[in-house]
Structure 1
Amino acid sequence: MKTNQNKPSYLKRKAYFLITLALFLASVVLHWYFGWKDYVNEQMAHSQAPQVPEYIVQMMRETMENWQSEFLQLIWQVVGLSFLWYCGSPQSKEGDDRREEKLDFIIRRLEPGKAEELLEQWKIKYPDK
């Protein structure tokens, strides 16, 4: 029976996501805070009172422009390439096949008598996807 003693905690398993989320939220909050400061200064320079609805529209436009130009490109590159690698595109398989062949060669050199038996056991234990 397996125990959960070696299983990392929830925070360790989700640390990258949580840190990324915290950085993202901090950057959005700071963007809107400093945007508000700039908006108020601009309105005062024109002798006008700051209007919250006008500010929200302006900041949503700026946020969406930044999101579209930066985040969507990065997300597509990371997620798209990860998906293609996971699905087994020919480009992702190339390195694995070469590595497998090298490891098989090394095993056959180190354990000539047991190599085929070990490789067969591993094939059963870890079948090809």
Structure 2
Amino acid sequence: MGSLATVDSATDEAKSRPRFHRAYSFGIVTGIFFIVSWVGQFVFQAIAVRNDAVEHGSEFTWSDFFPQFLSSTFENWQSEFLQLVWQAAGLMLFYFWGSSQSREGEERVESKIDALLEDRGIDPESLDRVVKDRAEGKRS
């Protein structure tokens, strides 16, 4: 009887999981955008290099094209990743250091909590003193 319950719970769990395309739709769409844009870069850069070679009276060669393609690809990725890392890390640091934007959010949350406490008949300042006293008692 116990093994039957285990099988039922396993099938229920499998039924409750979303299908692969639903669970990973953002990653799939992002991957498709990435591949399409990279293929587009490849095609248009190949056309530009071929036109440049014809204009200068030389022949298009893949051995000349691939280093240029990889160089421009990594240059794009480097600039994008650096920009993204700066945005994520910079925002995290500013939030951690307590920028004016993060302080405004904290003050807003504090005022909402105080309003809820007052609505329940609890004095926020007396609660602050109790919390502070308990914190100091734990430190000693």
TM class by smaller structure = 0.5 to 0.7
Q: Where does structure 2 lack aligned partners over 5 or more consecutive residues?
A: 1-11, 128-140
Q: Where does structure 1 lack aligned partners over 5 or more consecutive residues?
A: 120-129
- C-alpha displacement of 1:15: 4.0
More helix by share: 2
Counterpart in 1 of 2:62?
Answer: 52
- C-alpha displacement of 1:42: 1.8
- C-alpha displacement of 1:12: 5.2
Give the alignment's TM-score, normalised by structure 1: 0.61
Aligned residues: 111
- C-alpha displacement of 1:57: 0.6
Counterpart in 1 of 2:81?
Answer: 72
Q: Deviations over 1:91-116 (max 9, x none)?
A: 27634532332122111232216x88
Aligned amino acid, residue 82 of structure 2: Q
- Name the SS of the counterpart of 1:47 in structure 2: coil
1:29 to 39, 42, 47: 39
- C-alpha displacement of 1:10: 5.6
CA radius of gyration, larger in: 2
What's the RMSD between the two structures over aligned residues?
Answer: 3.6
Work out the percentage of aligned pairs sharing the same amino acid: 18
In structure 2, relative to structure 1, the CA distance for the partners of 1:106 and 1:8 (3 Å cut) is: farther
Report whether the alignment pairs 1:112 with 2:99.
Answer: no
